[in-house]
Structure formats: structure tokens, C-alpha cells
Chain A
């Protein structure tokens, strides 16, 4: 049950989203650090193809943004980071609800008979 494609995919999504949350915190902490390049977490594409092939588990990757730097020498864009942060929080809540749904269907299955 807990190693079904759905569960594994949800776990991978939660891992990726919490890593993204962490990286956004790092980026905003370094918004005024000269020479800092923003970090990006990627996992969605890999997760989609992993689910399609019936596997579900996938690891996230962290890459550096190649956007040009601003006058303060950092390439962190506060608008992008803020939007991405809100987006990540909402997706995270969505994924936790789905995990809760998985658990409640398991409880239902245990109660039957």
C-alpha cells in the first residue's frame, strides 16, 4: 500500500516541494549577497515520466539560475521567489491533503469486513 505508485509519487512530490521551499528561503536570505546566483529545484518533469513508466519514486535536482545579475551583484528576483514560495506552499498543502486521502482510504479498507 505505502509503496504504490501513488504513495511514492506523493512522497517524491513532498520531498521536492520541501526542498524547493528550503531553496527559496536560501535565495531570499541571499537577496543582497553580491555574486549570489539563485538556486532552483526541479523534479516535476522527472516525476511525470516516472509515474508514466509506473515507478513513482524520483529524486529532485538543484541547479543554479543563469539569469543576469542585478546591480547588487545577486540574481535573486524577489517577485519570482515570492510567487514561487506561495505556489510551493499551496502545492505542498495539496499534496499533504492527497496523502491524507490515501491514509483515509486505507482506514476504510481496514474497517470493511
Chain B
């Protein structure tokens, strides 16, 4: 009999927390300006893979990065503006990030609920023979 549902839900919690972290990082840098000589802030996307064998659950396999091209915006008064008056903003889609934020939050909650329910089952198992 294996009692590892809590550990598996833990891997799900970790994946969604890292996703939340990435989204928070992207959102906080949505207005990070760079000069046209430098690369734009690159949005971070968490890639997830299914675990298997001895390590069941879900795991963060790595990160994918958004474009360093960003989008050029005409702001001649900006201290970082080039001769033509352009600065570089990161190419982050705010609504996409907010959507991801909710998905990650709900995923986290779903896994936390699994921990809670697994606990109930294990408590029942502790009562066997009493």
C-alpha cells in the first residue's frame, strides 16, 4: 500500500508556485524599459513535464523565453531614447499573463485540496484495529 498522494500533490504545488513566480516576474517587468542597443526584458514561461517511475507527479522541465526584440516605442523624452527617439519595451501580453496567473492559482488550489483529502484518508487508515 503506498501513501504518496501527499508527495505527488506536493510536486503539483511546486510546479504551480514556480509558474506563479514566473508570471509575477513577467508582470512586474511589463514596463521595464531598455535602450534600443540592449535586449528587451524577456518574458519567462515555465515548461512542465510529467514525472514517472520513482518520481511520480509533475516537474518543471525548464523555462522558455519570450522575444528579446520587444517592441519599439516612440518616447523622445525618455532618458534611454536613441537618436530617433525610440526605447525598447518588453513584448509581454498583459491579458495573457493575467490568464496564466489565474490558471496557476487555481492549479495550486486544486493540489492543496488533494493534500487535504489525502490526509483524511490516511487518518482513517490510522484508525484500523482501534
Q: Do these two chains interact?
A: yes
Check B128–A103 contact: CB distance below 8 A: yes
Check A29–B125 contact: CB distance below 8 A: no
Check B129–A103 contact: CB distance below 8 A: yes
Residue A82 lies at the interface, judged by CB distance under 8 Å to chain B: yes
* Contact indicator per residue, chain A 21-34, by CB within 8 Å of chain B (1) or not (0): 11011101111111
User: How far, in Å, is B31 (CB) from chain A's closest CB?
Assistant: 27
Tally of B interface residues using CB under 8 Å: 37
User: How far, in Å, is B7 (CB) from chain A's closest CB?
Assistant: 8
Residues of A76-98 contacting chain B, CB below 8 A: 78, 81-82, 85-86, 88-89, 92-93, 96-97
Q: A residues engaging B (CB < 8 A)?
A: 14-15, 17-19, 21-22, 24-26, 28-36, 72, 78, 81-82, 85-86, 88-89, 92-93, 96-97, 99-100, 103
Q: B residues engaging A (CB < 8 A)?
A: 1-6, 8-9, 11-12, 15-16, 19, 48-51, 56-58, 103-104, 107, 110-111, 113-114, 117-118, 120-121, 124-125, 127-130
